[in-house]
Amino acid sequence: MRRYAAGFGLLIVTLAAAVPQAQETDRARVFYNMANSLGMLRTVREVDSVMTVEVWGRGTIRDVAANGALGPETQVKSLYAQFAYDFPGMRVEVVRTSGQRTIEVVSGTYAWNEIDKLGGGLEPGYGSATPAMDQVAVRLLRMWMTPFGAVKAARAAGDQAKVTVEGGRTVVTFPLVEGKPEQTVYMVVGELKGTPMKMTLDDRYRPAQVEVTFRGRKYVNTYSNYGDLNEADLKADIFVPAHVVATVDGQTALDLTIDKTNTYNPYVIMPVPPAVLKTR
């Protein structure tokens, strides 16, 4: 009987330890917990080791113009996205059910659309690239609003980040800060510099919602159903939301189901094509 009681007590202690209560307001502990909960802190040194990620998904999407205006909703047959938080850059290839294919890229303070091929425009005769410089800020915003991006941005803000509790949830509020090229995570925020970002964490300190108001529009991303979405023989213990909903001024811009990821820092680069470099 005593053994049973002791076992029961141990179970309660174990459960309490396994499910952290997201009411912590100590900034350093919250920074650690949110990065740790996503699996970003690796090796015995526990350093942020998630630099590049590939994502495959499907759902619905509406194009977001530079001023935040939304286009018509279309069905996404397949979405393939690359994130490189060290470049920093993002490449998103969307194939709609209509057959239309778009490849949008941001790298540092350059943005462009690749035509025909991923990496179009980098090599003569291999696709082409069309500058989209008016999209830099909106695309950088999308990148830094991803779960890994938001956590990295909060940690980069350091002492400027504030941790509060709202409705029982831990909330981290911070301005987007500009980083330096020599830093492993290179925070390039351009026009977003100083823009406040609000991140609400779930009960495991993972980003559940990220909000930013920019150029008078409110961007809200909601993340749920976290899991290691790498293929069964390539698990990395790095956790990504399987469901992503992005809204602009309350209207759904993206409703994405993520089917698969590669979080093993896959080979991803975003050099700026010569034709795009010439635009500045």
Partner 1 sequence: MKQRMVIGIGAFVTALTLTSAQIAAQFGGPPAPGAAAMKEAASRPTPKRPDGVPDFTGIWVQTRSRAASVPAALDTTTGSYKNVLQGRTGNPVDFERDSGVSQRVVPREARPWYKPQYWERVQFNDVHGHSAKAPDPEFLCMPPGVPRLGIPQEIVQTDRHMIFTYPLHIRRIYIDGRDHPPEEQWLGTWLGYSVGRWEGDTLVISTVDFNGQEWLGWPGWFTSPDKKVTERMRRVGNTLTWEAEVSDSLLLQPWKTGPVTRMLDANPRPEIEEPLPCVERDLQHIVTRERG
Residues that bind partner 1 (CB under 8 A): 41-47, 49-52, 84, 86-87, 117-120, 122-123, 126-127, 184, 186, 231, 233-238, 262-267, 269, 271
The three-state secondary structure class of 7 is helix
Residue 18: partners with Cβ closer than 8 Å, 6 or more residues away: none
Nearer to partner 1, 193 or 235 (CB): 235
Shortest Cβ distance from residue 1 to partner 1 (Å)? Answer: 32
Secondary structure letter of residue 123 according to DSSP: B
Q: Which helix (DSSP H) or strand (DSSP E) does residue 10 occupy? A: helix 2-18
Q: Which is nearer to partner 1, 221 or 230 (CB)?
A: 230
Cβ(82)–Cβ(73) below 8 Å: no
* In the complex, least distance from residue 156 CB atom to partner 1, rounded to whole angstroms: 17
Asked whether the beta carbons of 76 and 55 are under 8 A apart, the reply is no
Minimum distance from CB of 43 to partner 1 (Å)?
5
Cβ proximity to partner 1: between 8 and 126 the closer is 126
What are the tokens at 106?
């941001």
**DSSP-derived 3-state class of residue 81:** strand
Tokens representing 92 are 């998103």
Closest to partner 1 by CB, 190 vs 271, is 271
Closest CB to partner 1 among 175 and 190? Answer: 190
CB 49 to partner 1: min, Å: 5
Residue linked to tokens 């093993």:
264
Q: How many other C-beta atoms can be found within 10 angstroms of the C-beta atom of residue 117? A: 15
Q: How far is the CB of 98 from partner 1 (least distance, A)?
A: 25
Q: Minimal distance in Å, beta carbon 237 to partner 1?
A: 5
Q: How many Å separate Cα 124 from the centre of its chain?
A: 32
C-beta of 74 vs 264, nearer to partner 1? 264
